[in-house]
Amino acid sequence: MATILVVHGAWSGGWAWRKTSAIWRAAGHEVWTPTLTGLGERGHLASSEIDLETHIRDIVAVLDCEDLEEVVLIGHSYGGMVATGVAQRRSERLRRLVYLDALVPEPGEAVFDLVPPQAAARMRAAAEAGGDGWRIPPDPMPPDTPAEDVLYARPRRLPQPIRTFEQPLPSSAVPKLPRAYVVCTRVGPDDTFRRFAERAAREPGWTLETIDASHGPHGTCPDVLAGLVERLL
């Protein structure tokens, strides 16, 4: 059985993984779905000082305090930034990195370097207009999200501190670990994450998988996602 640690995406929390984590636990895996500082049930800690470093340290602390070893670390969406930073510091605790429709930064890159310029401009403007300059309102959920899931998620999806998108990944090298990229196929041709899947297809050391889902398969097709990840363990 595996030890699975999930880094959720922006505006989200560990709560968003309840469906998929239940499947893994039923199969006997040890599953951790911590919520990053300032989001979800930790929203009361939100401040303009929270940055990418804060979130990397959140996950490093889970690894260290729980003494986790041979971990399969999954980064979803923005969580790919955090997972990469964790790999820089605790590669000895990791068995594999799995990027789920996620950003895969190089050292020195920030979220705003990796998303389309118009998306970055839109989020900055939204933070200025309604978030005191530092709170980015949540993006819409995938259109195929079940209505009951939208109702459940709406009060739990909180603004993202802008410095988590502005701060670049530390410049230290990323150790060579076994890596997998899982790309969600129900997107347009200009999808933010497509180029990372293309990178995984051409670079050695990667396994590339596809899933017939929109950007949130842990909510829209948890059985399919859980089974796919189990094949990668």
Active-site residues, by number, are 77
8 A C-beta contact, residue 33 and residue 4? no
Round to whole Å and give the CA distance between 82 and 55.
6
CA distance 22 to 43: 24
Alpha helices (H) along 91-176: 111-114, 117-130, 147-153, 163-166
Return the bridge partners of 182, or none: 100, 209
Walk across the sheet containing 179-184 and list its strands: 30-32, 3-7, 71-76, 94-100, 179-184, 206-211
Burial code of 143-180, b = ≥16 C-beta within 10 A, e = fewer? Answer: eebeeebeebbeebbbbbbbbbbbbbbbeeebeeeebb
Question: For the packed helices 79-90 and 52-65, what is the interaxial angle rounded to 10 degrees?
Answer: 50
Residue with token string 């789920």: 100
Rg (Cα) of the chain, in Å, rounded?
Answer: 16
